[in-house]
Chain A
Amino acid sequence: MLRKISAAFMAIILVLSLTACREREEKKSRITVIAKAVNSNFWHRVRDGADAAATEYNVDFLFLGPENEEDYSAQIELIEGAVRGGTDAIILSAIDYERLSEVVDKAARTGVRILTVDSDVSSRNVSTFIATDNVKAGRAAAEAAVSGFSSQSEIKIGLVNYYESTENGQSREEGFKEYIKSVPNAEIVCKETADSNTESAAAAAERLMTEHPEINVIVGFNEWLTLGVGSAIKNKNAAGRIRAVGFDTNTVSIDMLEKGEMDALIVQNPFAIGYLGVKCAVGLLNGETYSERQYTDVVAVTKENMFDSEIQKLLFSFED
C-alpha cells in the first residue's frame, strides 16, 4: 500500500514538473523573418511593419536576410540556423521558388510554422502567403496612366518590362493590359524589355520614344525600370508631354514625382506585409487558420496627393 502511494506521488510530481516546463516554453513566441534582402527600402519597411506587430503582440522577433538578393544558399543556411535556434515560426520571402522547398519542408517537420511573404516557395507546408496583388497593381497602374487624359484623346502606351520571367512583372503587365482593353481610346503601341537597372531601362525608354514618337504614356514595371523611365523623360525633356507611370518608391522617384518627370507611382504597402506576416504567425501559433493567399493593396500616388497626410505616412518611412 505504501509503495503504491509513493509511486502515485512520484507520478504526480513528474506530471506537475512537466506542465511547469511546458508553461515556461510557451511564455514568449519566437518569430524569424527571413527576407530576400536587408538593405532595400522595401525590406526596411517590411521590417518596420513586422516590428510594429511584434511590439503589439509581445513576441520575440528577428529579421534576417542575405547580403545578395540572388543568394538562395544563404537563405537555406538562415532557415536552418533559425530552426536550430528554436524559432516557432519563420516568415520567408523565397529567393528561389524550387530550391528552397526542401529546407522549408524539413523545418516544417520539426514543428516550425512557415509563412511566405512577397515571394512564395513550392511547399505544401506554407500556411499562408502574403503579398501585394500584382494583377491589381497592374490595373491600378493602367488606371493612373489613362486618368490624365480626356475621353476624346487617343492614348498611345509604351511599356518597359524586364527580361526575367518573374511572376511579379508578368502579373503586373497582365493586370495592366486587362484594364487597357476596357478603355476604348487607349492602346498599347509597343513594349521594350530591359535589365532590371536604371541605365538599361533608360535606354529602353529612350528607344521607345524615338521609334514611336506618337506615344504619350510610358510605364516602367518595377522600381529600377521606373527610375530609368524617369531619367529618359528628363533627358528627352518630355516631362508633361509624356505621362510616366512607375512602381514603388524611393527618394529619387519621389523627387521625379515632385519635379513632374514621373506622373504616378504605384506604391505597395510593405509595412502591411511585414505586419500581417507577424500577426498571422502569432495567430497560427495560437491555432488560428488563414486563407492560402492574402493580398495587400496598392495606392496610386501622384504629385497632387503625395503630401496628403495619409499618403505621406505610406510613402515616407522613418530613417534609421
Chain B
Amino acid sequence: MKKARERITLSLSSITVLSVTAAALVAVIVCVAVFAGVYSRALKRDAVYSAEQTTAQTAMAVDNYINSMQEKLSLIKEIAESDNGSADISEALSNIVYIQSDIYCVTVYGENGEILSCTGNGTLKENVYSDNSFDKELFSSGDKIFISAPHVQTLFQNEYPWVVTLGTKTSTTAFENGRYIAIDFNFTEIAKYINNIGVGSQGYCFIADREGNIVYHPQQQLLFSGIKAENTEILTSLKDGTHTESDIIYSLKEVNNKKWRIISVTYTDYMQTERRTQVLKSFGITMLCSAVILFAVFAVYSRLVNAPVKHLIREMKRFETEAEAFTLNHGNETVSELKVISDSFEHMTERIKKLMAQVLDEQTELRKTELKALQAQINPHFLYNTLDSIQWMCERGNTADAAKMVSALARLFRISISRGRELITIREEIQHAENYLLIQSYRYKEQFTYSFEVDPELSECLCNKITIQPLIENAIYHGLDRHIDEGKITVTVRADEDNSGDILITVSDNGIGMTEEQCEAILKKHRSDSSGIGVKNVNDRLKIYFGEQYGLSIKSELDVGTEVIVRIPRLKGDNNAT
C-alpha cells in the first residue's frame, strides 16, 4: 500500500517540467500546422502568379515576333506589287532576304501552289516532292494575312529548316498568274525562346491552337513517341487565364489574333515534398528554439523555485532529527510565497523549540517537587516498627538502648528534613546512613554487620540527601533478609580513579545477589509499597540533578553479593543548593 503510493508520487519539479513541456509541444505543433497551411497557400499562390507572368511575357514576345513578321510581309507585298519589272523586284527581294536573317525565302504562288518565284539563299531543288509551305486550305481561307503552323521547309537542296509561313493575297503583275505571296520565316528563334522558358521549379511553355493541336512544343519529339503527353482535352476546354488541375497549374494566353494560345504548365507535386521538408525544418527549428527557451526557463525556475523548495525540505528533515539544536538556514528566497512558507516554518520551529524547553523545565520541576515530597515522607512501616522496638526496649527496661534508638531516629529525621536543602555533605549523608543502620541493626539482631570506608577528603563534598539509605534498605530487605549467614554491608566513598573529580559511593552486600534482569528491573520499577524512596527514584533524582552520565550502576552475582555504585560529580559544599 505504501509502496503503491510512493510509485505515483511525483516531485513538484517534474510535474512542472512535464506540464510546461506538454504545453510547449502543443503550442509548437499548432504553430507549425498553421504555418504549414499558410506556407502551402503562399507557395501555390506564388506558383500561380509566376505561371501567369511567364505566360504573359511569352505571349507578348511571340506576338511581337508575329507583328514584325506581318510588317515585313506588307513591306514585301508593296515591293512585289510595285510597277517595276520582275527582274528589279526579284533583285529587291533577294536583297531583303539576304539582309533579313529571319526571312528564309519569299515565294510567289499561283492559284494552286505553282511556284512562280522563290527567292532564298540556297539552291532550289529541281523536283519539289512536297511543298509544306503551301497549304491550299489556309491560303484560300480568305484571311487578309494567314500564318501557318511551324513546319519543315523543303524547297532547297540539303536544307530542311523549321519555318513558319506568312502569306497574303497579291495583285502583283510582275509575276504572271501570281495569286499569293508568302514569306517563310525562320522559326528557330521563337523555338529557342520558348525552349528556354522554365516555369517555376518544374514547368515549361508551349503553343497550341484553338483546337488543342500543338503548334510548337519544346519537347515535341517526345510527344510522338509517347514518353510525354499533353492533355489536349483539358487544354481545349480551359478558357484563357490560370487554372489549377490537381497537381498541375495551367496558364493560358491567346496570341496571333486568338488563333494560338501560349500554355504554360507548372507541376506542383514537387511542392508537396518541398513543403514537407520546409515544414519539418521549421518544426525542427521551432522545437530547438523552444527547447532553448524551455531550458532557460527551467534554469531560472530551478534557481528560483526548485532549489529553495528542496532546501526547505532538507531543513524540515533536519528539524525532524535534531529539533532542539535547530536553527533555520535561509536559502535563496526570491519567490514571495516561498519566503512566507520559509518564514512561517522558522517561526514554527522557534515556537516548538520554546514549547519543548518549557515542557522539559516543567517536567523537571514537577519531578523535583514530587521527589522532595517523597523525601519528606517517612516510611510509616519503618517508623511503626522502630517505635515498636523502642517501646519494647522501654518495657524491658533497656533504657540505654531505647535512648540510643530515639536519638538515632531523631538524627535520622533531622538530616532527612535538613531545613529543606536538597544537597547535603557526604558526611551528613553517611551519618544519616549510620543512624539508619543503627536502628535497623537493633531490629535485625545480630543478623548483619556494617562498615564505612569514607575518603576523608570527600566528606565535605555535596551529594543528594537520602541517596545511600534507600540502597542500604534495598540491601537489607532483598539481599540480607533471606540470608542465613551473617550479612555484611559495606559503604565506601572514594574518588573515581580514572575519571577526574567524580565521586563513587558504593553500597555492597554479601547477600543472595540478583540476576541481570533483576538489576535492570530494580532501576526501572517503583518501589512496590510505593512509599519512601526506591532505588529507581534515587537514580532518577541523580540524573535530574547532575545529568545523564551520573546515577546508579549495579553489579551483582547470585550467592556472592550485590554492589550498587553511585556516581556523582564532585561538588565542594557550601550548602548553597536548594
Contact = CB atoms under 8 A, between A and B. Distances in A.
B175 interface: no
10 contacts: A8-B295, A15-B288, A52-B204, A58-B202, A251-B160, A252-B158, A258-B129, A286-B273, A307-B151, A313-B221
B299 interface: yes
Interface string B160-191: 11100000000000000000000000011001
Interface string B346-385: 0000000000000000000000000000000000000000
B202 A296 contact: no
A51 B195 contact: yes
A6 B320 CA distance: 40
Interface string B212-250: 000000111111111100000000000000000000000
A310 B220 CA distance: 8
Contacts of B296: 5
Contact of B152 (A15, A252, A275, A307): A307
A204 B296 CA distance: 88
Interface hub of B130, B152, B202 (most chain A Cβ within 10 A): B152
A38 interface: no
A115 B155 CA distance: 41
A276 interface: yes
A299 B225 contact: yes
A19 interface: yes
Given A12-B288, A55-B197, A309-B149, A318 B295 contact: no
Given A16-B285, A56-B219, A319-B188, A297 B225 contact: yes
| Contact count band on B | 35 or more
A56 B203 contact: yes
Contacts of A318: 162, 187-188, 191-192
A57 interface: yes
A57 B218 contact: no
B152 A312 contact: yes
Nearest to B219: A52
A314 B161 CA distance: 13
Interface residues of A, number: 47
B542 to A, nearest CB: 57
A58 B158 contact: no
Contacts, number: 113
B225 A272 contact: yes
A12 B296 CA distance: 13
A49 B221 contact: yes
Interface in A13-62: 15-16, 19, 23, 45, 48-49, 51-53, 55-58
A57 B288 CA distance: 33
Contacts of A51: 195
A303 interface: yes
A55 B221 contact: no
Q: Which 3 A-B pairs have the closest CB atoms?
A: A271-B221, A313-B220, A310-B224
B158 A255 contact: yes
B276 interface: no
B398 interface: no
Contacts of B226: 297
Interface of B: 129-130, 132, 149, 151-152, 154, 157-162, 187-188, 191-192, 195-198, 200-204, 218-227, 273, 281, 284-285, 288, 291-292, 295-296, 299, 302-303
A307 B225 contact: no
A58 B151 CA distance: 28
Nearest to B278: A23
A206 to B, nearest CB: 23
B452 to A, nearest CB: 75
Nearest to B157: A255
B299 A5 contact: yes
A126 to B, nearest CB: 21
A313 B206 CA distance: 14
A145 interface: no
Interface in A301-315: 303, 307, 309-315
Contact of A275 (B151, B222, B284): B222
Contacts of B218: 52, 55
B198 A307 contact: no
Q: Determine the main DSSP class of A at the interface with B.
A: helix
Given A12-B288, A251-B159, A319-B188, A314 B295 contact: no
Given A5-B295, A12-B292, A319-B188, A303 B227 contact: no
Interface in A250-300: 251-252, 254-255, 258-259, 269, 271-272, 275-276, 286, 296-297, 299
A1 B285 contact: no
A301 to B, nearest CB: 11
A251 B158 contact: yes
Contacts of B187: 318
A52 B195 contact: yes
A16 B221 contact: no
Given A49-B221, A52-B195, A56-B198, A1 B303 contact: yes
Nearest to B217: A313
A19 B281 contact: yes
B190 to A, nearest CB: 10
Contacts of B149: 309
A108 B338 CA distance: 66
B480 to A, nearest CB: 77
A97 to B, nearest CB: 26
B227 A307 contact: no
A300 to B, nearest CB: 13
Contact of B292 (A8, A275, A313): A8
Contacts of A310: 223-224
Nearest to B303: A1
A28 to B, nearest CB: 10
A51 B302 CA distance: 62
Contacts of B158: 251-252, 255
Contact of A272 (B152, B160, B222, B284): B222
A16 B288 contact: yes
Contacts of A149: none
Contacts of B195: 51-52, 55
Contacts of A314: 221, 224-225
Nearest to A297: B225
Nearest to A56: B204
Given A51-B195, A275-B222, A286-B273, A254 B160 contact: yes
B189 to A, nearest CB: 10
A4 B298 CA distance: 12
A46 to B, nearest CB: 11
B287 to A, nearest CB: 10
B221 A9 contact: no
Contacts of A316: 152, 160, 162
Contacts of B223: 310, 313
Interface hub of B201, B218, B223, B296 (most chain A Cβ within 10 A): B218
